[in-house]
Amino acid sequence: MFGIRFIKVQPTDFILQYKGGKIVREGAGLSFFYYAPTSSLVLVPLKSVDVPFIFEEVAADFQQVTVQGQITYRVADPKKLSQLMNFTLETTGKRYNTDDPQKLPMRLINHAQVLTRSSLKAMPLREALGFSDTLVTSLQKGLQESDVIISLGIEVLGLSILAIKPNPETSRALEAEAREQILGKADEAIYARRNAAVEQERAIKENELNTEIAVENKKRQIRETQMEAEKSVQQKKHELEEAEMASKIALEDKNKQLVALATANAREEADAKAYGLSAMMKALSQSDAKIIQALANVGMDPAQLVAIAFKELAESAQKIGHLNVSPELLRELLSRESPR
């Protein structure tokens, strides 16, 4: 009413009120009344803005690539930006007078494209596809150090490359080449796996053979040990037999010596007996037979003496005419036990 209006801005917006060509009010998140016919309002957003971009460029090997990414920025110096671009609101305070606010993201995108072109000219296609981080670092550094961006009062918060793609024909060729490389690596992997399996099988066979050889060596050692033990036992037995034989030989030698000694003793004893008998016989041959008989009868049993008497009677029977034996004597002789 009467040209007096009210405006309220968000904390993320910076507003400047010009009156008579001079700034009479400025700040973020202000709310105030103003007289529209004599006032100009400049509203600069302070919040961070994400600007997606996509454009086509040519790599160092003349291959076309599509670069897709996003720039994040914010207005660091709204007064500097308001002096270079028109962010003036209409008298209603609801819309901008020009399309400069929409041109600001395009300026950033164009500058990013220029920097991308400069980087891709030094990169072949394969390097550009595989080293997006290098490209991101280069672009972000270029944007942050750009005089144009700094003069606008813009601060680049970040830059990301979402995709770098070649054209479909080149992509299919690269895919075919990569597929062949993958298949080749797969074949190499299969060959390596089979070779490893063969090596493992060979190692297993060698281990089995080594195990068999070790077992046979152990068996041989066991047999040799057993043979050594048997040899030792046989040697001990032989030594025992030799010792026993030597003992028997020594015993036989002792027995031989004993027999020889016993024989010599017996011979000497026989010689002594023979000499004694010879001397006795010589003495007896010079004695009367009756005296010898009498001496032999000394100490005899009466019955024997009676038998000898009867024998002598029998020898002189032609001289004896008649012999009477009393029954008492005969009974007495019969009642005696005959000597054995």
**Domain presence at residue 225:** no
**Per-residue pLDDT at 74:** 93
**Per-residue pLDDT at 72:** 93
Q: What whole-number distance in Å separates Cα of residue 211 and Cα of residue 214?
A: 5
Q: Kindly give the pairing relationship between strand 4-8 and strand 13-19.
A: unpaired
Q: 179-207: b or e for each residue (b if 16 or more CB lie within 10 Å)?
A: eeeeeeeeeeeeeeeeeeeeeeeeeeeee
**Per-residue pLDDT at 272:** 81
Same domain flag for 160 and 300: no
Same domain flag for 11 and 158: yes
Residue 72's SS3 state is: strand
**Domain presence at residue 331:** yes
**Domain presence at residue 197:** no
**Domain presence at residue 201:** no
**Domain presence at residue 116:** yes
**Per-residue pLDDT at 333:** 67
**Per-residue pLDDT at 317:** 66
Same domain flag for 9 and 157: yes
Q: What whole-number distance in Å separates Cα of residue 217 and Cα of residue 210?
A: 10
Same domain flag for 308 and 161: no
Among 166, 181, 200, where does a domain finish?
166
| Domains in the chain, number | 2
* pLDDT tens for each residue of the chain, 340 residues long: 577 888 898 999 999 999 988 999 999 999 988 888 888 899 999 999 999 999 888 888 788 888 889 999 999 999 999 888 999 988 777 889 888 899 999 999 999 888 888 888 877 777 777 777 778 888 888 888 888 888 989 999 988 888 888 877 776 776 777 678 888 888 888 888 888 888 888 889 889 899 999 999 999 899 888 888 888 888 888 888 888 888 888 888 888 888 888 788 888 887 888 777 777 777 666 666 666 666 666 666 666 667 777 777 776 666 666 667 777 776 776 676 545 4
* Residue in 55, 75, 54, 67 with CA at minimum distance from that of residue 157: 75
* Residue in 97, 104, 4, 3 with CA at minimum distance from that of residue 43: 97
**Per-residue pLDDT at 254:** 82
Same domain flag for 160 and 20: yes
Among 139, 166, 193, where does a domain finish?
166
**Per-residue pLDDT at 139:** 85
DSSP 142-184: HHHT-HHHHHTTEEEEEEEEEEEEE-HHHHHHHHHHHHHHHHH
CATH number assigned to the domain comprising residue 21: 3.30.479.30
Among 134, 166, 198, where does a domain finish?
166
**Domain presence at residue 248:** no
**Domain presence at residue 235:** no
* Residue in 105, 120, 118 with CA at minimum distance from that of residue 72: 105
CA 70 to chain centre: 53
The range of the structural domain enclosing residue 150 comes to 4-166
**Domain presence at residue 9:** yes
Residue 287's SS3 state is: coil
Q: Kindly give the pairing relationship between strand 49-58 and strand 64-75.
A: antiparallel
Taking the whole predicted model, whether its pTM rises above 0.95 is answered as no
**Per-residue pLDDT at 128:** 74
